Structure 1
Amino acid sequence: MTMPQKPTRRPANPRFSSGPCSKRPGWTPDALAEAFLGRSHRSKEGKARLKEAIVRTRAMLGVPGNFYVGIMPGSDTGAFEAALWSLLGARGVDVLAWESFGKGWVTDIVKHLKLDDVRVLEADYGALPDLDLVDFTRDVVFTWNGTTSGVRVPDGNWIPDDREGLTLVDATSAIFAQPLDWAKTDVVTYSWQKVLGGEGAHGVLILSPRAVARLESYMPAWPLPKLFRLVKKGNLDAAIFEGETINTPSMLCVEDYLDALAWAESVGGLSGLMARADANAGVLFDWIERTPWVENLAVDPATRSNTSVCLKVVDPDVLALPADAQAAFVKVLVARLDAEGVAFDIGSYRDAPAGLRVWTGATVEATDLDALTPWLDWAFAAGKAELGSQR
């Protein structure tokens, strides 16, 4: 079969990775020229810079004044692990898992914390568990947006305001792109290397008054590593939430986060960021609707992510191949786009079904996504041509 002709228009920015995500439009290293380097983060100026990041985060996200916002080590993973190890065990736990990271929290809770009273509510990639089965007399752990499946919870309406347990929410690919109802959350964590395209290694931990009350009234049965300790002498270590980090942060990364927040403010703040993500995802959703060889992995339109859009190949000839050959077909498709320099890092997550994952968060431009779609069609057609020549 004849190989298809390549498109002529290319994305100006081919970085569609789901994490670390693309830097903000126009970013250069010059944005970090005023970084607070070569000085102690515990100095007056260093703590002021960290506190500024906390204050601007609170304002951008509309975090209630009685919630605590702190910077943690270890990216979103470190922030969420600190919450799991510090808060769980006081009552039974319901853990929701429908993608890789949710399944990771199941492993931590069951195999490492070894809690006895755990219910795991799972769903296959592309769907949510039955949210009506969640018992809110228990603590509830879930990802707001399934980064590796492209499936998000539709809203917070399924969470009661008068719940007895805590809700612990890994929101790392939802924050700054999807509305969170703060009345429904007790713990929220994220990494700023996701939707804002900041540098990694740091996480943000947000605690409700209910979460703080748990911390101050309950002591876990297990020893806590220093990096997870949120309580000092029986009280919340409030200094963490004033810019006094547990360990040494990268002030270069902090400066990059401040730059990302300034850019976010310039495009309309939280509402502007969400609108950009919606518009970006819309470019791909429209293309999917008119493209027969691909479908959204998320089955229900109400639960489709607007940041991590996951795609599956549904062409009959490809589906007729053995599973390993299907995976190889997609891998070659991804490599072909990478070699052309038009799309980097868009293969599905290693634990997810073989397919594509395209990041559509706010730092991506809709024009680049529009330019990408003909290349996706070209790469698929080239793969089909090779497939036909092998028969």
Structure 2
Amino acid sequence: MSEPKKPQVKPARPFFSSGPCVKRPGWTPDALRDALIGRSHRSVDGRERLKLAVERTRDILRLPPGYQVAIVPGSDTGAFELAMWNLLGPRGVDVLAWDIFGRNWLRDAMAELKLADLRTLEAEAGHLPNLGKVDFSRDVLFTWNGTTTGVTVPDGNWIPDDREGLVICDATSALFGEVIDLNKIDVLTYSWQKALGGEAAHGMLVASPRALERLASYRPPWPVPKLFRLTNQDGVMHDVFEGVTINTPSMLCVEDYLDALTWIEGLGGLDAAIWRARVNSQVLYDWIDRTPWVAPLGADPQTRSHTPVAMRFADPGLMSASESVRLDVMRELVRLLEAEAAGFDIAAYRGMPAGLRVWCGATVERDDIVALLPWLEWAYAKARKEAVSG
């Protein structure tokens, strides 16, 4: 293949990481000027800021009546594990796993909680499991949108309203990018550092009335670490759902989260954020359609994500080489882009087929994705030529 000329125009913000994601357009450290630094999070002012974060989350997500929000430790991972450790056990569990993080939850359900009545519904990268086989008389664990595979459930219609078990959803790569009917979800988790471009280490847990009732009526047979604990000898720690945190939060991070929510409100709210992700991802999918050396990792167009767009190499000449050669091409492509400051952090996730992964969430600007595309062409041509000649 002929080598295209080196592009001249670079993305203004060449940050396409799938987590931590790029911050909102126009962000500067001045956004944190009102952060409650040097003060206790337990002070009156500290509690007010944390409570405000919870209240604004409830409003922006348009939570159904009775749903509650908590700020918890450990990003989305901590929030999802917290839900597992507190709520699982009284029913059998179905775990859906089609990306790395779904398999993480599956591993911990098996190896750490040692659940006796556990079913797994798995699929290889690029595909969904058979959603029709899920048994909703049991508790269900799943990721709405696979961060590592770029494969998302198309909607929530497969989840019945009259389910008996709890549906526990890792939505960190879906929220603000995919349409989620929260009435279908009993526990939803996400992090500030994903779709909102916030800072890491803090997770959000949204609980339905059914999940809160389970929390009040059930005590798991295993020890629950203090960082995961939502109950004490008096029952549910209700103040956790009013902004009181289990451990010490960063008030800088809290202020940054509030700034991100203000930006979302300024866009027009949740629907506007989802629209931006769809516009952004369409630019990439249109380019993929006309580019012979790359293909979407997601096999079904109806299940391709609008936030992490995952791609695999599809060049017949390269595909006839070994996976190690394809990985070398990926690494060199990424190195070239980073050396030119034209695009950062776009390699496929480890364990996925060699290719690329570009975040297209709401905090990314469409023009930056458009500017990235010629650089992808240039870097791929150079990387492939070096691999073939080598």
TM (norm. structure 2) is 0.98
Change (3 A) 1:163 1:146: same
Name the CA distance, whole Å, in 2 between partners of 1:280 and 1:251: 31
Between the aligned partners of 1:171 and 1:121, the Cα distance in structure 2 is 18
Aligned residue for 1:251?
Answer: 251
Residues 1-391 of structure 1 aligned to structure 2 (within 5 Å): 3-233=3-233, 235-390=235-390
The Cα shift of 1:65 comes to 3.0
3-state SS of paired residue (1:163): coil
Instruction: Specify the code of the residue in structure 2 equivalent to 1:225.
Output: P
Is the CA contact 1:216–1:234 (under 8 Å) kept in the aligned structure 2?
no
Q: By how many angstroms is 1:177 displaced? A: 1.4
**Residues 101/39 of structure 1: CA separation in 2 closer, same or farther (3 Å cut):** same
1:147 Cα deviation from its structure 2 partner: 0.3
What is the aligned-residue RMSD (CA, Å)? 1.1
Deviation at 1:351, TM superposition (A): 2.5
Q: C-alpha separation between the residues in 1 aligned to 2:99 and 2:276?
A: 25
Task: Give the secondary-structure state (helix, strand or coil) at the position aligned to 2:333.
Answer: helix
Cα deviation digits, residues 110-168 of structure 1 (max 9, x gap)? 01101111001000000000000100010000000000000000000000000110000
- For residues 80-122 of structure 1, give each alpha carbon's deviation from its aligned partner in whole angstroms, at most 9, with x where no partner exists: 1110000001110000000000000000000110111100100
Comparing 230-239 with 76-85, which one deviates more in the overlay? 230-239
Give the C-alpha shift of residue 2 in structure 1. Answer: 6.8
State the Cα distance separating 1:367 from its structure 2 match: 0.2
CA distance in 1, matches of 2:248, 2:87: 24
Look up the SS of the partner of 1:140 in the other structure: strand
SS in structure 1 of the partner of residue 8 of structure 2: coil
Runs of 4+ in 1 over 3 A off after TM superposition: 1-4, 387-390
2:39 aligned counterpart, secondary structure: coil
Look up the equivalent residue of 2:119 and give its one-letter code.
R
2:2 and 2:349 map into 1 onto residues whose CA distance is 31
Q: Which amino acid aligns with 2:311?
A: L
Deviates more, 1:137-146 or 1:342-351: 342-351
Q: Secondary structure at the match of 1:358?
A: strand
Q: Which runs of 5+ in 2 are unaligned?
A: none
Q: Secondary structure at the match of 1:157?
A: coil
Aligned length: 390
Name the TM-score, length of structure 1 as normaliser.
0.98
CA displacement at 1:341 relative to structure 2: 0.6
Distance (whole Å) between structure 2 residues aligned to residue 238 and residue 388 of structure 1: 61
SS of residue paired to 1:146: coil
